[in-house]
Structure 1
């Protein structure tokens, strides 16, 4: 079985992996930590520590294709939005383009277990930045 992880328009990584099904019931939505301004554009954008290639490897390693979605042959791209906080943690994680409840939940779970990012900066100081990520699910 192949998994396709697509990160924006930069590149696509395809790899073969075995699927382990684990039930996840954790609510991954976090409340914003800070009430200061959220930037949409900044001088330096936030990034996963290690860059896009490490981000893709993290997703590929930790993704667990939901059993029912696999049985029903559901595929597609879930788009998530979140805020990268001044300390690099992620908050206000939401699905803005859904594929199915199972794939949406897996995309949210993946993002909720990410380590902190390198925060975005404006004027040389870390700021809160709204960010979106597409996560592609392909059988």
Structure 2
């Protein structure tokens, strides 16, 4: 009984030294229970063994118990999980006209009608148009924010008649996007 209590104290000291919890390993607890039962057996029924064999057996069991405790164990501790925040500008893809800026310029040249009243009055200028490209690529809520009054209607009409755009993406998903686009109205001199 005395050997078991000494070993238990040494196991607890070893655990504290290694930074482990105070409770000894389960295998070590089985070993202590075996020691207690062994000492309670009558001396007559115990087989005769040499003291050195017992000592070495105890040392080997102690080392096995210590080695199993010293191995790192998986934990569910989430305090060490590092969160990486991605730069949102790298994760976004803006909505655009199918074919890019050159296709948009061709579409404007083919479909933009310069108002006759503006030609007669020799009106030029830039019209800034605000619109929404939804998840499917449809253009909606077209509104002219600035520019000459006569040119605003033509700019809004060309956006309303435009085909579907490529929708914007954010973090791999299609999203609705708000856009502002300038349109330059210039008269050609002959």
- The aligned residue for residue 59 of structure 1 is 108
Runs of 4+ in 1 over 3 A off after TM superposition: none
Structure (1/2) with the larger strand percentage: 1
Residue 117 of structure 1 is aligned with which of 161, 165, 188?
165
Give the secondary structure class of the aligned counterpart of 1:116. coil
Q: Which structure is higher in RCO with an 8 Å CA cutoff and minimum separation 6? A: 1
The C-alpha deviation readout for 1:82-122, integer Å capped at 9, x for no partner, is: 1110000011111111212x210000010011000000001
- The aligned residue for residue 128 of structure 1 is 176
- The aligned residue for residue 104 of structure 1 is 152
Q: TM-score, normalised by structure 2?
A: 0.50
- Distance in 2 between residues matched to 1:68 and 1:83, nearest whole Å: 29
Which structure has the larger Rg?
2
Residue ranges of structure 2 left out of the alignment (5+ in a row): 1-88
- Distance in 1 between residues matched to 2:134 and 2:94, nearest whole Å: 12
Residue ranges of structure 1 left out of the alignment (5+ in a row): 1-40
Structure (1/2) with the larger helix percentage: 2
Aligned length: 98
The two structures, once aligned, show a CA RMSD in angstroms of 1.2
